[in-house]
Chain A
């Protein structure tokens, strides 16, 4: 009886562990739009322009994507998405992000958040 209980407990823990490990996925990446650049340091502050682009001249260098899917109706926050998008911008060597699009959808009990944007690099003003 005791052995059966222990086995049941182990099975329950295994099921919980599988759910925790298998219920969420995050996929992020960037696609260079032309010339590639070295990544920015981890503490570099990437600006995000959600409404209008910066007034300084810039070059579009990469398309950035971050994708969160969580089952059990677990919500992915806007802030977590932007942190990940900024991480991708740094990896692409971008100074800032423009043309941000946030898309939310749902498949059954899975909540999906996808954020996409364009990584830019400031270019020096002309002479």
Chain B
């Protein structure tokens, strides 16, 4: 293999790596979480949000009537580790005992490569706690 050939392969690998790293970041910029409506009063949905965030390992920092928020602890791994995401569930009371919930994962700089979007597991756990089927989320496609 000549030197020029080797250099072009290194450049191609570098470009591929840059694309692989930057593509999820670019998608993340457009992502705006999951917004769903539960046929339950806001007090019940808030408790379900607390339980659901606990299930995915969040240390809660805010437990307000309209907002539950916290962060997953960072863990050191061989390659990338995990944790560090900030997860929030913002609640809005609607008419007739309905509540709109906006579930959002925000990735942070430290350990970003090992972080994931937890919205769907949180939605499923909230539904389980509330004893309802998982509501459809109109903005779910944006998270993919």
Q: Which of B51, B55, B76, B80 contacts A23 (CB 8 A)?
A: B76
Q: Given A108-B82, A109-B80, decide whether A23 and B75 contact each other with a Cβ distance below 8 A.
A: yes
Instruction: Say whether A107 faces chain B, with CB atoms less than 8 Å apart.
Output: yes
- Spot the interface stretch: A5-13, A24-32, A90-98: A24-32
DSSP majority for the A interface?
Answer: strand
Q: Are A116 and B78 closer than 8 Å at their CB atoms?
A: no
Interface residues in B, total, Cβ within 8 A? 22
Contact (Cβ within 8 A) A27 B59: yes
Q: Check: A78 CB closer than 8 A to any chain B CB.
A: no
Complex: how many Å from CA A92 to CA B44? 21
**Complex partner residue of B79 from A25, A63, A109, A112, CB under 8 angstroms:** A109
Is there a chain A Cβ closer than 8 Å to B136's Cβ? Answer: no
**Is residue B81 contacting chain A, with contact meaning CB distance below 8 A?**
yes
**Closest A-chain residue to B57, C-beta based?**
A67
> Which of B64-97 touch A at CB < 8 Å?
73-83
Q: How far is the CA of A114 from the CA of B58 in the complex (A)?
A: 12
Closest 3 CB pairs of A and B: A22-B76, A71-B77, A110-B82
Could you list some 7 contacts between A and B, CB below 8 A? Answer: A22-B81, A29-B54, A69-B82, A70-B75, A71-B76, A103-B55, A107-B116
